[in-house]
Amino acid sequence: MPLLKKKRVLIVDDAVVVRKTLSDAIAADSALEVAGTASNGRLALAKLPSLKPDIILLDIEMPEMDGLETVRQLRKIDKHIPIVMFSTLTEHGASATLEAISLGATDYVTKPSNTDMEGTFQKVSQELLPRIHALCHIPAASPAPASALPPALPVVRRDQARPRLAVPPQIIAIGVSTGGPDALARLIPSLPADLPVPVVIAQHMPAVFTTMLAARLTAKSAIPVRECKSGEPLSPGSIFLAPGDYHMVLSAEDGTIRLYTHQGPKENFCRPSVDVLFRSVAHVFGARALAVILTGMGQDGLKGCELLQSSGARIVVQDEATSVVWGMPGFVARAGLADKVLPLDQIGLEIVRATGDKLLKKEPAKAANATV
């Protein structure tokens, strides 16, 4: 079997020690090679034609040409090459990262908060390299022998599900990861102000970033988006975002449904986890829920969708063509759990249709192609 051509990575960062650490981590990956390095955006743009990288790792704060301006210029040259921002875990870093995504960056990874290069190396190995593999469509390694694999969980197919109730859903639950900020910036503004049900979202993001994301989505949407505050009641006319590094769950108490957050163990290496949220939605709402799985790496949300589907809930997933990474939605679709597989620009309309035909007569308050 012929060896696959290595994917070429261009590293753009003004810190020599960071460039060295990233280069070492990438060189240790048999599917990747360092195409070259640059200390700022201007140099990176000059080297681009000769290096021909498959993906670009880009710092935000650099001299001469920073990461934001570099993204602007890169997208004039190439609209499709993946760009991963390497940002600091600060309020400024979160704001700049979301701005970079609105300009066309594909994804981001946060740097460790200290200057420990061993920590940086581990961070790169655990978080950045899998993203590079996913964004460059590098095939997964050969599966382990059947004897080494854990027993597969039984998948409940749509035709085995409990009959669904002939009523509109009372909640919309959304799970999303890689490519999520841009996907949400296109979906959420397409929802009308009088959407009669609440929306809950688990987006894989660290603390601080979710605060910024909620604010940016609110500024462009007819429905306010806010981070969930533990203990608050669930109410229509609001969109609740799980805070970074916290799981979000629903609980029915004395006729009131409340949202709670906690820092229980990560699931699927994630906190917030889509599975954690979806399980609670299934327990509280059962068939009266509509679940939506958007672009993202991995399979967080798959088990939650199995439980929702077995309760009779409806499930919609984003299609492969419009997903940055067809991991999370792909797993759900291939498991036979999705009622519909739709392009991103049709999911808002599907939510409106499901929650009540009367809303179809009204135009969404904001354009669906808004950016974060």
- Is 366 contained in some domain? no
Torsion angle (degrees, nearest 10) of CA 282, 284, 287, 291: -50
Looking at residue 172, its pLDDT comes to 98
**Does 199 share its domain with 115?**
no
Phi then psi for residue 268, to 5 deg, are: 55, 35
Looking at residue 159, its pLDDT comes to 47
179's tokens: 């490519």
Q: Please name the amino acid found at residue 17.
A: V
Spatial neighbors of 202 by CB under 8 A, at least 6 apart, are: 174, 175, 176, 242, 248, 272, 273, 274, 276, 277, 278
**Does 331 share its domain with 195?**
yes
Digitized pLDDT (tens) for each residue of the chain, 372 residues in all: 456 799 999 999 998 988 988 899 899 999 999 999 999 999 999 999 999 999 999 999 999 999 999 999 999 999 999 999 988 777 888 899 999 999 999 999 887 655 566 666 676 778 889 999 999 999 876 444 433 333 433 444 444 444 555 578 999 999 999 999 999 999 999 999 999 999 999 999 998 899 999 999 999 999 999 999 999 999 998 999 999 999 999 999 888 999 999 999 999 999 999 999 999 999 999 999 999 999 999 999 999 999 999 999 999 999 999 999 999 999 999 999 999 999 999 999 999 999 985 444 444 444 344 445
**Does 288 share its domain with 173?**
yes
Partners of 315 in the beta sheet?
A: 291
**Does 305 share its domain with 190?**
yes
**Does 203 share its domain with 324?**
yes
Q: Do the Cβ atoms of 218 and 240 come closer than 8 Å?
A: no
Return the CATH number at 47.
3.40.50.2300
* Angle, vertex CA 153, rays to CA 150 and CA 155, nearest 5: 150
Return the CATH number at 194.
3.40.50.180
**Separation between Cα atoms, residue 64 and residue 50, nearest integer Å:** 21
Looking at residue 327, its pLDDT comes to 95
- Is 142 contained in some domain? no
- Is 293 contained in some domain? yes
Partners of 253 in the beta sheet?
A: 256
**Does 225 share its domain with 318?**
yes
pTM as predicted: 0.88
**Residues with catalytic function:** 177, 204, 300
- Is 141 contained in some domain? no
**Separation between Cα atoms, residue 231 and residue 251, nearest integer Å:** 9
**Does 169 share its domain with 109?**
no
**Does 126 share its domain with 233?**
no
Number of domains in the chain: 2
**Separation between Cα atoms, residue 22 and residue 37, nearest integer Å:** 10
**Does 191 share its domain with 336?**
yes
CA 88 from chain centre, in angstroms, equals 18
List the domain range (segments joined by +) for residue 236. 158-361
- Is 143 contained in some domain? no
Looking at residue 120, its pLDDT comes to 65
What's the per-residue H, E or C state across the chain? CCCCCCEEEEEECCCHHHHHHHHHHHHCCCCEEEEEEECCHHHHHHHHHHHCCCEEEEECCCCCCCHHHHHHHHHHHCCCCCEEEEECCCHHHHHHHHHHHHHCCCEEEECCCCCCHHHHHHHHHHHHHHHHHHHCCCCCCCCCCHHHCCCCCCCCCHHHCCCCCCCCCCEEEEEECCCHHHHHHHHHHHCCCCCCCCEEEEECCCCCHHHHHHHHHHHHCCCCEEECCCCCECCCCCEEECCCCCEEEEEEECCEEEEEEECCCCECCECCCHHHHHHHHHHHHHHHEEEEECCECCCCCHHHHHHHHHCCCEEEEECCCCCCCECHHHHHHHCCCCCEEECHHHHHHHHHHHHCHHHHHCCCCCCCCCCC
**Does 276 share its domain with 347?**
yes
- Is 146 contained in some domain? no
**Does 117 share its domain with 213?**
no
**Does 268 share its domain with 167?**
yes
- Is 368 contained in some domain? no
- Is 325 contained in some domain? yes
Phi then psi for residue 288, to 5 deg, are: -90, 35
Looking at residue 114, its pLDDT comes to 52
